[in-house]
Amino acid sequence: MTGPLYSLGVFGDEAGFVAIFLIGLAFGFFLERAGFGSARKLAGIFYFRDFAVLRVMFTAIVVAMLGLLYLSSLGWLEMEAMNLPPTFLGGQIAGGLLLGIGFVTGGYCPGTSVVAAASGKWDGLVFMLGLIFGTGVFGLSFDWLEGLYQWGSMGTVTLSEWSGMGAGTLGFLIVLIALGAFAATEYADRRKAGAADAGGKFMSLQVSWQRAGAALAVVLGFVLMTAHSIAGQGVSVSKLAASGDDLIEPADLAAMLARNQPVAVIDLREPASFAQYHIPGAANLAFEQLAKADLPRDRLVVLCSVDGVRAGQAWAVLASRGIQTRILKGGLRQWWAEVATPADLRMGGGAPMALPAAHGAAAPGMPAARSAAPPAAGGVKKFKKGSSCS
Amino acid sequence: MKMDAKPYWSPYLAGIGIGVTLIVSFYVLGGGLGASGAFARVTGALFHAVAPAYTESHPYFKSYFEGGQSPLKDWMVFLVIGAFLGGLLGALTAGRLRGGVERGAGFPVRSRLWLAFAGGAITGIAARLARGCTSNLALSGGSEMALGAWAFMLSVFAGGYLMAYFVRRQWS
Q: What distance in Å separates residue B149's CA from the closest CA in chain A?
A: 7
Determine contact: B56 vs chain A, CB below 8 A.
no
pLDDT at A48: 94
pLDDT at B130: 97
Domain count of the fold of chain B: 2
Phi, psi of B127 (to 5 degrees): -65, -35
Are B160 and B83 found together in one domain?
Answer: no
Are A303 and A367 found together in one domain?
Answer: yes
CB spacing of B123 vs A130 below 8 angstroms: yes
A44-51 contacts at long range (C-beta below 8 A, 24 or more positions apart):
A44/B171, A45/B160, A46/A103, A46/A104, A46/B160, A46/B161, A46/B163, A46/B164, A47/B164, A47/B168, A47/B171, A48/A188, A51/A185, A51/A188, A51/A189, A51/B11
CA atoms of A324 and B91, how far apart (whole Å): 62
Is A388 domain-assigned?
Answer: no
Relative orientation angle of helices B36-50 and A122-140, to the nearest 10 degrees: 60
A-B contacts (CB, under 8 Å): 588
Which of the residue ranges A162-176, A205-219, A349-363, B17-31 would you say has the lowest mean pLDDT?
A349-363
Are A156 and A113 found together in one domain?
Answer: yes
Is residue A159 over pLDDT 70?
A: yes
| Residues 58-97 of chain B whose Cβ lies under 8 A from any Cβ of chain A | 58-61, 63-64, 74-76, 78-91, 94, 96-97
pLDDT at A6: 83
Are A63 and A204 found together in one domain?
Answer: yes
Are A89 and A212 found together in one domain?
Answer: yes
How many C-alpha atoms does A174 have within 13 Å on its Cβ side? 29
Is residue A204 over pLDDT 70?
A: no
Domain boundary among A172, A204, A232: A232
Are B107 and B167 found together in one domain?
Answer: yes
Domain boundary among B65, B99, B133: B99
Is residue A115 over pLDDT 50?
A: yes
Question: Complex ipTM above 0.90?
Answer: yes
Residues of B in contact with A126 (CB under 8 A): 113, 116-117, 120
Q: What distance in Å separates residue A271's CA from the closest CA in chain B?
A: 18
pLDDT at B132: 95
Tell me which of B113, B145, B170 to substitute to probe the interface with A (most A C-beta atoms closer than 10 Å): B145
Asked, as a colleague might, if the bond just before B59 is cis with ω within 30 of 0, I would say no
Q: Strand A300-304 vs strand A263-267: parallel, antiparallel, or unpaired?
A: parallel
Domain boundary among B99, B123, B145: B99
Residues of A in contact with B113 (CB under 8 A): 122-123, 126
Q: What distance in Å separates residue A234's CA from the closest CA in chain B?
A: 22
Is A239 domain-assigned?
Answer: no
Is A251 domain-assigned?
Answer: yes
Q: What is the CATH number of the domain that holds A333?
A: 3.40.250.10
Q: Which residue has the higher pLDDT, B61 or A338?
A: B61
Is residue B32 over pLDDT 60?
A: yes
Are A217 and A264 found together in one domain?
Answer: no
pLDDT at A206: 59
* Average pLDDT of span B81-96: 96
How many C-alpha atoms does A146 have within 13 Å on its Cβ side? 10
Is A380 domain-assigned?
Answer: no
Q: What distance in Å separates residue B169's CA from the closest CA in chain A?
A: 11
Are B8 and B49 found together in one domain?
Answer: yes
Determine contact: B12 vs chain A, CB below 8 A.
yes
| 3-state SS, one letter per residue, for A292-326 | CCCCCCCCEEEEECCCCHHHHHHHHHHHHCCCCEE
The model's pTM is: 0.74
Containing H/E element for B111? helix B109-130
Q: What distance in Å separates residue B69's CA from the closest CA in chain A?
A: 12
CB spacing of B88 vs A118 below 8 angstroms: yes
Residues of A in contact with B159 (CB under 8 A): 96-101, 103-104
Q: Which residues pair with A263 in a beta bridge?
A: A300
Q: Are B128 and B47 in contact (CB under 8 A)?
A: no
Q: What distance in Å separates residue B62's CA from the closest CA in chain A?
A: 10
pLDDT at A142: 95
Q: Are A110 and A135 in contact (CB under 8 A)?
A: no
Is residue A244 over pLDDT 70?
A: no
Q: Which residue has the higher pLDDT, A107 or A362?
A: A107
Determine contact: B158 vs chain A, CB below 8 A.
yes
Are B56 and B118 found together in one domain?
Answer: no
Are A135 and A278 found together in one domain?
Answer: no
* Average pLDDT of span A168-195: 90
Identity of the residue in B44, B83, B130 whose CB atom sits nearest the CB atom of A99: B130
Determine contact: B169 vs chain A, CB below 8 A.
no
Q: What distance in Å separates residue B153's CA from the closest CA in chain A?
A: 7
Residues of B in contact with A118 (CB under 8 A): 83-88, 90-91
Are B107 and B170 found together in one domain?
Answer: yes
Tell me which of A79, A135, A160, A189 to substitute to probe the interface with B (most B C-beta atoms closer than 10 Å): A135
For residue A141, give Cα distances in angstroms to A159, B35, B98: 32, 22, 38
Q: What distance in Å separates residue A183's CA from the closest CA in chain B?
A: 12
pLDDT at A85: 92
Q: Are A253 and A330 in contact (CB under 8 A)?
A: no
Identity of the residue in A3, A136, A210 whose CB atom sits nearest the CB atom of B43: A136
Tell me which of A58, A99, A123, A133 to substitute to probe the interface with B (most B C-beta atoms closer than 10 Å): A99
| Residues 92-121 of chain B whose Cβ lies under 8 A from any Cβ of chain A | 94, 96-104, 112-113, 115-121
* Average pLDDT of span A365-384: 44
Q: Which domain holds residue B12?
A: 1-99
* Average pLDDT of span A292-320: 76
Are B20 and B72 found together in one domain?
Answer: yes
Are B90 and B124 found together in one domain?
Answer: no
Q: Are B26 and A3 in contact (CB under 8 A)?
A: yes
Identity of the residue in A24, A161, A386 whose CB atom sits nearest the CB atom of B78: A24
Is A41 domain-assigned?
Answer: yes
* Average pLDDT of span A152-168: 88
Q: What distance in Å separates residue B136's CA from the closest CA in chain A?
A: 7
pLDDT at A10: 82
Which of the residue ranges A18-27, A227-236, A242-251, A291-300 would you say has the lowest mean pLDDT?
A227-236
Are B70 and B155 found together in one domain?
Answer: no
Identity of the residue in A25, A92, A130 whose CB atom sits nearest the CB atom of B152: A92
Is A215 domain-assigned?
Answer: yes
Is A378 domain-assigned?
Answer: no
Instruction: Give A259-289 pLDDT, tens digit per residue.
Output: 888 888 888 888 888 888 888 888 888 877 7
CA atoms of A306 and A334, how far apart (whole Å): 9
Q: Which residue has the higher pLDDT, A390 or B148?
A: B148
Are A191 and A252 found together in one domain?
Answer: no
CB spacing of B148 vs A118 below 8 angstroms: no
pLDDT > 70 in chain A, percent: 79
Residues of B in contact with A121 (CB under 8 A): 99-102
Are B92 and B108 found together in one domain?
Answer: no
Which of the residue ranges A89-98, A221-230, B77-86, B161-170 would you say has the lowest mean pLDDT?
A221-230
Domain count of the fold of chain A: 2
CB spacing of B39 vs A128 below 8 angstroms: yes
Which of the residue ranges A6-15, A179-188, A378-387, B21-30 would you say has the lowest mean pLDDT?
A378-387
pLDDT at A326: 84
Where does the pLDDT of residue A170 fall: very low under 50, low under 70, confident under 90, or very high at 90 and above? Answer: very high
Tell me which of B2, B6, B13, B27 to substitute to probe the interface with A (most A C-beta atoms closer than 10 Å): B27
Domain boundary among B59, B75, B99: B99
Are B9 and B86 found together in one domain?
Answer: yes
Amino acid at the residue A282 = A
Query: In terms of CA atoms, which chain B residue is nearest residue A65?
Result: B143
Q: Which domain holds residue A267?
A: 244-372
Is A312 domain-assigned?
Answer: yes
pLDDT at A207: 63
Are A180 and A80 found together in one domain?
Answer: yes
Are B89 and B116 found together in one domain?
Answer: no
Are A45 and A144 found together in one domain?
Answer: yes
